[in-house]
Amino acid sequence: MTDASTQPAVTSAEMSDPSDEITNLSNNPTFASVVDATLSRRSVLMGSAATALFSSLGGMSTLALSGNAEAATTARKLLSFKPVAKSLVDAVIVPEGYEAQVIYALGDPLTASTPEFKNDGTDTDFDNRAGDHHDGMEYFGLTTDGKPSTKSATRAVLGINHEATTDEKLSSFFIHANGGAASLPRPAAEVDKELAIHGVSMVEVRKTASGKWEYVKNSAFNRRFTTLTEIDIAGPARGNALLKTKYSPDGSKTRGTLNNCGAGRTPWGTYVTGEENFNGYFTRPKGDDEARSNDKHVTALKRYGRAEGVASRHGWDSAGSADKYARWINAKTGTSADGSDDYRNEMNAQGFVVEMDPYDGKKLAKKRTALGRYAHESAAFSAPVVGQPLAVYMGDDARNEYIYKFVTEATWSSADATNPDRLAVGDKFLDRGTLYVAKFTSDGSGEWLELSLNNSAIKAYDKYAFADLADVVVNARIAGDAVGATKMDRPEWCTVNPANGEVYFTLTNNSNRIVEPKNAPQLEPDAANPRSYTDVKGTSRLQTGNPNGHIIRLREAGGAGAKAFSWDIYLFGAEASADPATVNLSKLNANQDLSSPDGLAFSHATGICWIQTDDSAYTDVTNCMMLAALPGKVGDGQKVNLSYTKADGAKVSITTPVGKAPTEGELKRFLVGPKGCELTGITETPDGKALFVNIQHPGENTKMADVTDPTKYESQWPANAGYGAGKRPRSATIVITKKDGGVIGA
């Protein structure tokens, strides 16, 4: 979706970015009036209890014991590698002294009896193969005898999201021999493959005697979750009328997890996966609004991007009358009052954080509804402190959506970290608590606003009558509208700095942050989303709004349960040559410049903050990339003034707190990926000597019509790196090691 008539045509891949949908038509102020809040500026350095806990969890002993990133930095001389230059080469490029090795790509078999992947579009049985579009990822260590371990650096289960698929005209064309059917109805045999390439992999990986890593084809830990896997509904929405379907008339279960994007690792050793752009897979025929008497459910469906009469992304609903296809039509077709005889409520079961036990293949995954339903990315946990609640930080990735925090009702005890019934610990922490949404104020303060019926703004909201807590969490976006949350420039991943507890969020870009809004969803810049400018792509294409994105960070005023925070903007994406007064506000040089930050995670071994890009703005100059950063803290920079002039001469003046501009010793490029990819997924061995990263959708700008002509592929990676059969590009997990066996980033 483009927002301005001045914007030249975009490529089909850019057009189909579902994150670009805007459904936030609320009239929330984008900028709150200044609150008279006195914020505690005391630091949130971990107490001794947390220090002990993190030491026991392994992997961050140096940092936890010193409690000081600077000390660890000095001790290890981090970021001493030579930066990688921007690149348009179809290859993974890492610094001198490093190696990158492909270990797990689309189609790789997960059982001994599954045939090797031919990569020519004839492969089937994707329930037993790696899915597509590898995304968020976490490392779960295993001892040599296969027990959970927080210290093992040689054997693990990787949890890996398979977000989506490279598609054009409905079809995931690289997995079909001749590209598949480009019109409706879609053939069932094609749809069955597509239903299975989405979801999550649990896959065992190990370091061999030669020092190389590999995935273990016949491991008993290998497991796929797809769009059809049975999953429990947990938390306040379990059993609620909003979740009743023909498949689960009591609202306790659903099938599948969908568009799994960012991820996270709980302090008790489970995997959490975020369901992002779920709405596009469903469809409702014209007339469904009326069939539902234009009730509040229609209001909610529109707010979640599911207007009637819009085709689904892949046409899975068209493949036949079988239930696994019909469920994608979330329309009122039955006669029941509660939806237990149709799939009118089916979409309400997608858009959650889902918890999975990587070590136990028998347990059903659980949708943790208390954390809210929206386009989830990563879920980042505060450092556990004995006797204190945990905070879970999350973003909603669509233009003009919100940042959230969930605070657990239960408090942490050290036994929780090692309880072998990990999903029971998940029940304890993730099913009861309070969901908040963020409001940023221009003075550098902010508030967490409670999303429950305890909040009068929600109870009295005149645009949607919330029935109960289940209604609030299932329709968290509407609750955020009701309380006046701040609309952000597409919140992607978040991560917690282990050195000081500060929380970082990537705001990847926003074409709708414009000085003179013409239509309701378009927003003026504000202090937390302060840039609006024009960037040229190639020789002529104008990209407006905030095309390069930024990274915002928060410091809680107290512990995990704090209701207030202070904030600044750690880093602005920009081209090095852009104007330092209005665009390149972080003064990035050519070894640091980046666009559209997305994946984001602090290493618990080194304290390095890894930044990955999912960009289409700077891709005329460089493929997507990964950078290593050593950030300071909230307030280490200065206030920056930006001013804009409207057509009528009126001035818009913004003052925003900006972090200290990074030196090259504090931010430099570490990796550039192959053509057409985004970099995503960041996890590591506890010793920091192996870094796992995902290369998602290499070659995504290939045309479906060229699927049988490798010379026309945008990318032939990873085949051109010596991995696997065929030449069709494949999403894949890579592992990065140092040739001298040292710590990554040192």
Residue ranges binding ligand FEO (CB under 6 A): 19, 163, 261, 276, 377, 397, 492, 598
Tokens in use for 666?
């504090």
Query: For Ca ion, which stretch binds (CB under 5 A), given 27-35, 70-78, 99-107, 607-615?
Result: 607-615
Identify which of residues 276 and 288 has a Cβ nearer to ligand FEO in the complex: 276
Calpha distance 472→466 (Å, rounded): 6
Q: Report the candidate in 690, 706, 697 with the shortest Cα–Cα distance to residue 732.
A: 697
Identify which of residues 288 and 377 has a Cβ nearer to ligand FEO in the complex: 377
Among residues 168, 401, 614, 666, the one that binds Ca ion under rule CB under 5 A: 614
Contacts of 379 (CB under 8 A, 6+ apart): 262, 263, 264, 272, 274, 353, 371, 392, 393, 394
| Cβ pair 523, 30 in contact under 8 A | yes
**DSSP reduced 3-state for 721:** helix
Smallest gap from residue 243 Cβ to ligand FEO (A)? 24
Report how far Cα 69 is from the mean position of its chain's Cα atoms.
26
Does residue 355 interact with Ca ion by CB under 5 A? no
Identify which of residues 193 and 373 has a Cβ nearer to Ca ion in the complex: 373
Rounded alpha-carbon distances, angstroms, from residue 583 to 121, 399, 516, 623, 640: 44, 20, 18, 21, 11
Report how far Cα 552 is from the mean position of its chain's Cα atoms.
16
Among residues 232, 598, 684, 700, the one that binds Ca ion under rule CB under 5 A: 598
Smallest gap from residue 505 Cβ to ligand FEO (A)? 12
Which residue is closest to ligand FEO by CB?
261
Number of CB atoms found within 10 A of residue 655's CB: 15
Query: For Ca ion, which stretch binds (CB under 5 A), given 45-53, 171-179, 522-530, 614-622?
Result: 614-622
| Cβ pair 673, 128 in contact under 8 A | no
Smallest gap from residue 690 Cβ to ligand FEO (A)? 25
Q: Report the candidate in 213, 215, 108 with the shortest Cα–Cα distance to residue 730.
A: 108
Size of the site for Ca ion (CB under 5 A): 5
SS3 for 72-98, per residue? HHHHHCCCCCCCCCCCCCCCCECCCCE
Calpha distance 503→608 (Å, rounded): 14
Does residue 163 interact with Ca ion by CB under 5 A? no
**DSSP reduced 3-state for 127:** helix
Does residue 288 interact with Ca ion by CB under 5 A? no
Smallest gap from residue 256 Cβ to ligand FEO (A)? 17
Q: How buried is residue 247: exposed, middle or buried, by Cβ count under 10 Å (0-12/13-18/19+)? A: middle
Site for Ca ion in 482-521 (CB under 5 A): 492
Smallest gap from residue 318 Cβ to ligand FEO (A)? 25
> Residue 492: phi, psi to the nearest 5?
-100, -120
Does residue 275 interact with Ca ion by CB under 5 A? no
Number of CB atoms found within 10 A of residue 482's CB: 26
Identify which of residues 19 and 222 has a Cβ nearer to ligand FEO in the complex: 19
Q: Report the candidate in 177, 193, 64 with the shortest Cα–Cα distance to residue 124.
A: 193
Smallest gap from residue 390 Cβ to ligand FEO (A)? 24
| Cβ pair 231, 252 in contact under 8 A | no
Smallest gap from residue 493 Cβ to Ca ion (A)? 6
**DSSP reduced 3-state for 408:** strand
Query: For Ca ion, which stretch binds (CB under 5 A), given 122-130, 139-147, 423-431, 533-541?
Result: 533-541
Contacted entry of ligand FEO, Ca ion, none for residue 502, CB cut-off 5 to 8 Å set by kind:
none
Identify which of residues 197 and 634 has a Cβ nearer to ligand FEO in the complex: 197
Smallest gap from residue 487 Cβ to Ca ion (A)? 18
End-to-end CA distance of the chain: 42
Query: For Ca ion, which stretch binds (CB under 5 A), given 41-49, 590-598, 658-666, 728-736?
Result: 590-598
Identify which of residues 194 and 377 has a Cβ nearer to ligand FEO in the complex: 377
Smallest gap from residue 396 Cβ to ligand FEO (A)? 10
Alpha-carbon Rg of the chain, whole angstroms? 24
**DSSP reduced 3-state for 457:** helix
Report how far Cα 82 is from the mean position of its chain's Cα atoms.
29
Identify which of residues 274 and 699 has a Cβ nearer to ligand FEO in the complex: 274
**DSSP reduced 3-state for 6:** coil
Contacted entry of ligand FEO, Ca ion, none for residue 276, CB cut-off 5 to 8 Å set by kind:
ligand FEO
Calpha distance 108→106 (Å, rounded): 6
Identify which of residues 235 and 491 has a Cβ nearer to ligand FEO in the complex: 491
Smallest gap from residue 678 Cβ to ligand FEO (A)? 8
Contacted entry of ligand FEO, Ca ion, none for residue 535, CB cut-off 5 to 8 Å set by kind:
Ca ion
Identify which of residues 276 and 289 has a Cβ nearer to ligand FEO in the complex: 276
Smallest gap from residue 377 Cβ to ligand FEO (A)? 6
Does residue 535 interact with Ca ion by CB under 5 A? yes
| Cβ pair 440, 525 in contact under 8 A | no
Query: For Ca ion, which stretch binds (CB under 5 A), given 31-39, 531-539, 586-594, 686-694?
Result: 531-539
Identify which of residues 161 and 716 has a Cβ nearer to ligand FEO in the complex: 161
Smallest gap from residue 490 Cβ to ligand FEO (A)? 7
Smallest gap from residue 396 Cβ to Ca ion (A)? 12
Smallest gap from residue 624 Cβ to ligand FEO (A)? 12
Identify which of residues 173 and 374 has a Cβ nearer to ligand FEO in the complex: 374
| Cβ pair 413, 422 in contact under 8 A | no
Does residue 568 interact with Ca ion by CB under 5 A? no
Smallest gap from residue 477 Cβ to Ca ion (A)? 18
Identify which of residues 149 and 619 has a Cβ nearer to Ca ion in the complex: 619
Rounded alpha-carbon distances, angstroms, from residue 342 to 192, 243, 293, 329: 21, 11, 17, 9
Identify which of residues 348 and 612 has a Cβ nearer to ligand FEO in the complex: 612
Contacted entry of Ca ion, ligand FEO, none for residue 163, CB cut-off 5 to 8 Å set by kind:
ligand FEO
> Residue 697: phi, psi to the nearest 5?
45, 55
Contacted entry of Ca ion, ligand FEO, none for residue 396, CB cut-off 5 to 8 Å set by kind:
none
Identify which of residues 161 and 500 has a Cβ nearer to ligand FEO in the complex: 161
Q: Among positive and negative, which fits the CA dihedral 119, 123, 125, 131?
A: positive
Number of CB atoms found within 10 A of residue 71's CB: 15
Identify which of residues 332 and 490 has a Cβ nearer to ligand FEO in the complex: 490
Q: Report the candidate in 499, 481, 390, 475 with the shortest Cα–Cα distance to residue 439.
A: 481
Residues that bind Ca ion (CB under 5 A): 261, 492, 535, 598, 614
